[in-house]
Structure 1
Amino acid sequence: MSSSTQVAKPPSRDENDQEVSLNVMLQMRSSFYGNAYVHPVRHLERNGAMNSRPPVMEVIPSADSSENAVLQSHPTIVPGASLLLALRLSARPILLIGGGLVASQRLYFLLESDAHITLISPSPLHPSIQHRVDDPITSRQITWLDRPFLGREDSVKVKDFDLVMTAIDNNELSKEVCDLCREERVMVNVADIPPQCDFYFGAQLRRGPLQILISTGGMGPRAGAMIRDIILDSLPDNLEESIQGIGLLRGDLRKRAPGVGGTLGQERMDWMKETCDKWGLDQMKRFNDDSLRRRILDQGWENRKIIGPNEIDTSYGVNVRGLVSLDKVVQLGSTINWGSAVGGMVIGASVAVVGTMYLIRTGVIKA
């Protein structure tokens, strides 16, 4: 992996700190691999003990292969999972109680999600938090109240926030905050006390628009971080470019075929999926080229065809390797034509001068 790749990681965390998903991503214990539906087989023994081996992955034909496959494609339900969601917190009010190391980690992810954080904690703050409070940019997202949180008697009410998080050493106050949130139906996370958590933070990594969350359900945060690093090392370079390219092509397609749902919406989704599959993740970074996207839509979508990298019509001025646009081809042709004309004039003038000098020397023409 190139050394220039920057990965957003939180500050180092205590191994005993609980995981929470703030990049709260939907944890689907089933996924698609190629054209086969993959799901884990229940791996709990009948007596409730968990098998020491990882769950076996059972492959079932996709639902569209045959009518019979539909009856066999229902994955086994394995209870106990968390629902991992990607929460859009931009400008949403979040209450963070605490000013230590764990609170600094919570603050890091909240700032990246563009939330507005009300921070309640007496000074001194953890150096990382103090830096964010003093920074002229990140401070715009933070309202800091330099005092302890007073529980039910506090003028700040949990009902006014979308999420509440506590990272303090006072267990009684933490439980009171949890009770307040449960009464007001506000989701809460109390650091290091799983029964008082409605959500967990997991090990996360970010590369541009790509975000990945690893959750162990609060069992082993350090194991989650180790798994995250394994995934990070296996990701291809310039993956961000491919994801950005996909987003651009999808946006252009929506402009040509606007609307939500219905036959057109399904057609659009199917075409986009099959086009991505045909190009592959590495080749999709070429979608960042405006001319190439236009040709893919002109030759593919408009004709309801799926075309790959080797099927682009280069006669329209698109070179799959060089991505030469049509206007450049026209410009090049014009340059060649002008060059030919100028070259012909120069050669003609040279021949005329040489011929005239020869005739003067031979006396045919008198100077």
Structure 2
Amino acid sequence: MDEEKYPEVQGGGSLILAWQIRNKRVLVVGGGEVAAGRILNVLNADAKVTVVCPREGLNPEVAYRVRKGQVDHVDRKFEPSDLDDVDMVLTAVDDPEASTQIWKLCKERKIAANIADVPSECDFYFGSVHRDGPLQIMVSTNGKGPRFANIVRRSIAETLPKNTGEAIMKIGKLRQMLRKVAPGPEEGPKRMSWMVRVSDAYSLEDLCEMDEEDMATLLTYYSSDQVPRLDCLKATKGEFDGFDGSFGFFVGWG
């Protein structure tokens, strides 16, 4: 029956996305501890950040980022004109009435907003994030238990190998190099298939051990659609004097 073939819809969740806000303009209203966390999140995503808050309301971390020029600072309370040319708004102030007013203004202008500690006035939530270089893992409780999300996130992070982020960076570098070797769009399916086999053939430790010369050597096998084992790959560079060309040189024949 059809109902047994397809996943059951589970409403009440959020659509979890990797939102690209590089060079987008983000307005942060407030300068306390919560604002400091929000600011770091969006700076890590390479956003352009403006903080609106009286100077005396800045906590040490936010004041530091202002001094270092990491954010622009407007030394006063929020005004509606602050929303001009803004792509995202984050509020973290101890004034529910003012926060709701900012939320309503954002809705009128169709600006995505997050009103701290008011789930009903949020277009999106901040989850608990584990970061290891290019690897990001977010745990969300859909606004119901932020502190518990931290516990789950730490539990997940403890199960990951310590070199996971470095291995992912190596895979990213190899993909860039492959696109130069086989740039045509018609190569797309083969590139994807070959990279899947590379990812399956090499462990995290193997990937971390690779340097650019190893990657360049590996790419010479792309045209023949082959994936050598790492020891065989290095043997072609003369790193293993005992290599005799025995059967079993390649893995992942497809």
Question: For the superposition of Structure 1 and Structure 2, which TM-score range results when normalised by the shorter chain?
Answer: 0.7 to 0.9
Select the residue among 252, 258, 273 that pairs with 2:196: 273
Amino acid at match of 2:182: A
Alignment of 1:157-168 (within 5 A): 158-168=83-93
Find the counterpart in structure 1 of residue 215 from structure 2: 293
TM-score of the superposed pair, with normalisation by structure 1: 0.61
In the alignment, the residues of structure 1 paired with residue 230 and residue 5 of structure 2 have an alpha-carbon distance, to the nearest angstrom, of 33
Partner deviation per Cα, 1:31-67 (whole Å, 9 max, x = no partner): xxxxxxxxxxxxxxxxxxxxxxxxxxxxxxxxxxxxx
Note if contact 1:159-1:181 (Cα within 8 Å) is conserved in structure 2.
no
- 160, 163, 171: which is aligned to 1:235? 160
**Maintained 8 Å contact 2:26/2:47:** yes
Whether 1:155 and 2:73 are equivalent positions in the alignment is no
Structure 1 residues 298, 74: closer, same or farther in 2, change over 3 A? farther
Q: CA deviation at 1:188?
A: 0.5
Q: Distance in 2 between matches of 1:208 and 1:129?
A: 24
The yes-or-no answer on 1:194 pairing with 2:119 is yes
The C-alpha deviation readout for 1:224-267, integer Å capped at 9, x for no partner, is 1011111222221222321121111111111011144xx42011
Aligned to 1:50: none
Change (3 A) 1:268 1:185: same
**3-state SS of 1:160 partner:** coil
DSSP 3-state at the match of 2:233: coil
Q: Hey, what's the Cα distance between the residues in 1 that align with 2:178 and 2:189?
A: 13
> Across the two proteins, how many residue pairs are aligned to each other?
238
Does the 8 Å CA contact 1:175/1:196 hold for their aligned counterparts? Answer: yes
8 A contact 2:178–2:219 mirrored in 1: yes
* Structure 1 residue 291 displacement after superposition: 2.2
Distance of 1:192 and 1:170 partners within structure 2? 11
Q: Measured at CA, do residues 169 and 234 of structure 1 come closer, stay the same or move farther in structure 2, by a change above 3 Å?
A: same
SS at structure 2 position matched to 1:303: coil
The 8 Å contact of residues 295 and 312 in structure 1, kept in 2 or not, is answered as: yes
Equivalents in 2 of 1:270, 1:84: separation in Å?
A: 26
SS for the counterpart of 2:203 is helix
* Equivalent-residue separation in structure 1 for 2:167 and 2:240 (angstroms): 16
Instruction: State whether structure 2 residue 66 is matched by structure 1 residue 143.
Output: no
After TM superposition, the runs of 4+ consecutive aligned structure 1 residues lying more than 6 A away are none
Question: For residues 325-340 of structure 1, what are the structure 2 equivalents within 5 Å?
Answer: none
**1:195 partner SS:** helix
Alpha-carbon shift at residue 110 of structure 1 (Å) = 1.8
Residue matched to 2:139: 214
Shift of 1:171: 1.3
State the secondary structure of the residue aligned to 1:144: strand
Q: 2:33 aligns with which of 101, 110, 133?
A: 101
1:32 aligned residue: none
1:105 is matched by which residue type in structure 2?
G
In 1, Cα distance between the equivalents of 2:175 and 2:29? 41
**Is 1:134 matched with 2:67?**
yes
Give the match for residue 207 of structure 2: 284
Q: Unaligned stretches of 5+ in structure 1?
A: 1-70, 322-367
| Partner Cα separation in structure 1 for residue 212 and residue 78 of structure 2 | 53
RMSD: 2.1
Kindly report which structure 2 residues correspond to 1:356-367, keeping only aligned pairs within 5 A, or say none: none
Q: Deviation of residue 282 (structure 1)?
A: 2.8
Q: Which amino acid aligns with 1:235?
A: L
Secondary structure at the aligned position of 2:101 is classed as helix
Q: Percent identity?
A: 36
* Equivalent-residue separation in structure 2 for 1:169 and 1:253 (angstroms): 52
The counterpart of 2:229, out of the listed 305, 308, 311, is 308
User: Is contact 2:163-2:204 (8 Å) kept?
Assistant: no
Residue type of the alignment partner of 1:173: A
Counterparts of 2:177 and 2:239 in 1: how far apart (Å)? 20
Secondary structure of the corresponding residue to residue 194 of structure 2:
helix
